[in-house]
């Protein structure tokens, strides 16, 4: 009898999956920043430009946090496994 649902792909190790998710999230944040900046440039005097500038500020903070998390994950891959704090 044939399977209706195929087997899931081989699972990546959890660190690699987390790193991939962080990279993808960082790319989405970068796209959101680009759209918000473009919106402000097209209509800098519009009332909504103040809100878009706030969005830009918040998305820059998100981008920084994502990059920090990605660096921490990459550091964990190269260091021996031992208890430590990263802050």
Its domain, for residue 58, covers 28-76
The reply to whether 59 falls in a domain is yes
State the residue for tokens 């989405």.
Answer: 28
The reply to whether 38 falls in a domain is yes
Cβ-count burial of 18 within 10 angstroms (0-12 exposed, 13-18 middle, 19+ buried)?
middle
**Domain tally for the chain?**
1
The reply to whether 86 falls in a domain is no
Per-residue model confidence as pLDDT tens digits over 11-70: 567 888 899 999 999 999 999 999 999 999 999 999 999 999 999 999 999 999 999 999
Residues 42 and 78: their CA atoms lie apart, in Å, by 45
The reply to whether 58 falls in a domain is yes
Residue 3 binned pLDDT confidence (cut-offs 50, 70, 90): confident
The reply to whether 62 falls in a domain is yes
The reply to whether 3 falls in a domain is no
């Amino acid at each position: 009898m044939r399977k209706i649902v195929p087997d899931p792909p081989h699972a990546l190790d959890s660190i690699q999956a987390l790193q991939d998710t962080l990279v993808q999230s960082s790319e989405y944040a970068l796209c959101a920043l680009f759209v918000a900046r473009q919106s402000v440039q097209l209509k800098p005097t519009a009332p909504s430009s103040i809100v878009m500038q706030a969005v830009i500020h918040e998305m820059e903070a998100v981008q920084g946090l994502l990059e920090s998390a990605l660096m921490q994950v990459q550091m964990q891959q190269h260091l021996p496994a031992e208890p430590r704090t990263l802050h």
